[in-house]
């Protein structure tokens, strides 16, 4: 039956009765080129004024390497934290009855709506030595503001909505029958979660992870206020681009920009391919 179904699908695709393919795809590509591709290509063209050797030595200079390690490393960590707590939050929001759940639900989108500069100022206020949270942490030797830990806090903050928002609808949409069946067969809650629920929400988690990671890597506005910006220690890659611009070094700035662009592009592409595969696998 699944085999037959698959064939039937393929057949119907070949003679799709739904109209508007040319129009919608044409418009999509036109608008995409106008707003995204042509402007982004200017970065590549500008950086191409470098020879390959200069380009390579610019993007692999020690200070740049340190900033990549910091930016990508902390973004990865932040995205992981968001995965764990994002799935938990989505679970609680989708499955439990909770007084004031709507408020919590609405709050999750806050990092998205708050301008990054405000987020940065606020986080620096709250987590610095004299802030509401910082004053409890500092006596224990934990310094958050103006250290790489501050960058982690900022990146976690701005990436928070993504895992929740991708996992929550999938979790709510899951058919209860499977879980019921598993329970009837004697599986305990943990087994049900890890064997039945988790595989079904994994693609959504991965998407959320990628979105949170990609967003964190490019973040500038909020990090600048809380990072301390010490060279080699707490200097993120976007700041290096700004520093290069400040010296009117446009080719240098765009060279680093191309590195960031390709990383975001490949992360997103990998996730999209992975999702496509998992969807095919699931069906």
Partner 1 sequence: MHPGVLAPKGRNPAAAGQSEPLAIRLLLVTVVLCFLAVFLVVPLVSVFSQALAKGWEAYLASLYEPDTRIAIRLTLLTAAISVPLNLLFGIAAAWAIAKFDFPGKSLLVTLIDLPFSVSPVISGLIYVLLFGLQGWLGPWLSAHGIKIIFAVPGIVLATIFVTFPFVARELIPLMEAQGKEEEEAALVLGASGFTTFRRVTLPNIKWGLLYGVILSNARAMGEFGAVSVVSGHIRGATNTIPLQVEILYNDYNYAAAFAVASLLAFLAVVTLVAKSFVEWRIRENSSCG
Partner 2 sequence: MARDKRIIFLALTMLILGMLASTGAFAGAELLNVSYDPTRELYQEFNAAFATYWKKKTGESMAVKQSHGGSGKQARAVIDGLEADVVTLALAYDIDVIADRARLLPENWQQRLPHNSSPYTSTIVFLVRKGNPKHIRDWNDLVRPGVSVITPNPKTSGGARWNFLAAWGYALKQNGGSDARAREFVTRLYRNVPVLDSGARGATNTFVQRGLGDVLLAWENEAFLAVNELGRDKFDIVVPSTSILAEPPVSVVDRVVDKKGSRRVAEAYLKYLYSPQGQEIAAKNYYRPRDKKIAARYAKVFPKVHLFTVDQLFGGWRKAQQRFFNDGGIFDQIYSPSR
Applying CB under 8 A, which residues contact partner 2? 19-20, 23, 27, 62-63, 124-125, 128-131, 145-146, 224-225, 228-232, 239, 242-249, 252
Closest distance between partner 2 and the C-beta of residue 268, in Å?
26
Instruction: Return the number of the residue (131 or 203) whose C-beta is nearest partner 2.
Output: 131
Query: Which is nearer to partner 1, 53 or 103 (by Cβ)?
Result: 103
Q: Give the whole-angstrom CA distance, residue 237 versus residue 264.
A: 13
Given partner 1, partner 2, none, residue 146, with its beta carbon under 5 to 8 Å by kind, binds: partner 2
Q: Which residues contact 85 (CB under 8 A, 6 or more apart)?
A: 160, 163
69-77 contact pairs (CB < 8 A, 24+)? 70/148, 70/151, 70/233, 70/234, 70/235, 70/236, 71/217, 71/236, 71/237, 71/238, 72/217, 72/263, 74/148, 74/151, 74/152, 74/155, 74/216, 75/155, 75/213, 75/216, 75/217, 76/213, 77/152, 77/155
- The CB-of-117 to partner 2 minimum distance in angstroms stands at 11
Least separation in angstroms between residue 247's CB and partner 2 is: 6
Specify the residue for token string 């609405």: 106
Cβ proximity to partner 1, 53 vs 69, nearer residue = 69
Nearest distance, CB of residue 220 and partner 2, angstroms: 10
Choose the contact partner of 229 out of partner 2, partner 1, none; CB within 5 to 8 A by kind: partner 2
The option from partner 2, partner 1, none interacting with 128 (CB < 5 to 8 A, set by class) reads: partner 2
Query: Which of 53/176 has CB closer to partner 1?
Result: 176
Residue closer to partner 2 (CB basis): 20 or 99 = 20
Q: How far is the CB of 230 from partner 1 (least distance, A)?
A: 19
Minimal distance, residue 183 CB to partner 2, in Å: 49
Calpha distance 180→99 (Å, rounded): 26
Q: How is residue 60 written in tokens?
A: 């692999």
C-alpha dist (Å) from residue 162 to 4, 31, 159, 170, 204: 37, 25, 6, 13, 10
Q: Based on CB atoms, which residue is closest to partner 1, 53 or 130?
A: 130
């Amino acid at each position: 039956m699944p085999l037959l179904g698959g064939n039937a699908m393929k057949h119907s695709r070949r003679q799709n009765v739904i109209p508007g393919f040319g129009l919608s795809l044409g418009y999509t590509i036109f608008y995409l080129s106008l707003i995204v591709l042509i402007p982004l290509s200017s970065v590549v063209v500008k950086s191409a004024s470098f020879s390959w050797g200069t380009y390579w030595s610019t993007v692999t200079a020690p200070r740049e390497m340190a900033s990549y390690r910091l930016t990508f490393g902390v973004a990865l960590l932040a995205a992981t934290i968001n995965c764990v707590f994002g799935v938990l939050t989505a679970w609680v929001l989708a499955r439990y009855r909770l007084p004031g759940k709507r408020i919590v639900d609405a709050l999750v989108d806050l990092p998205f709506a708050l301008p990054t500069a405000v987020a940065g100022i606020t986080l620096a206020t709250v987590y610095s030595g004299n802030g509401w949270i910082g004053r409890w942490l500092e006596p224990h030797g934990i310094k958050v503001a103006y250290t790489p830990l501050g960058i982690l806090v900022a990146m976690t903050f701005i990436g928070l909505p993504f895992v929740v928002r991708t996992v929550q609808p999938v979790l709510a949409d899951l058919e209860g029958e499977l879980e019921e069946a598993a329970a009837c067969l004697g599986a305990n809650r943990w087994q049900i979660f890890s064997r039945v629920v988790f595989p079904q929400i994994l693609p959504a988690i991965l998407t959320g992870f990628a979105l949170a990671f990609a967003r964190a890597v490019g973040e500038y506005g909020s990090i600048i206020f809380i990072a301390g910006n010490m060279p080699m220690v707490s200097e993120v890659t976007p700041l290096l681009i700004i520093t290069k611009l400040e010296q009117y070094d446009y080719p240098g700035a765009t060279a680093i920009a191309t590195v960031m662009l390709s990383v975001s592009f490949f992360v997103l592409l990998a996730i999209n391919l992975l999702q496509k595969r998992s969807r095919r696998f699931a069906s």
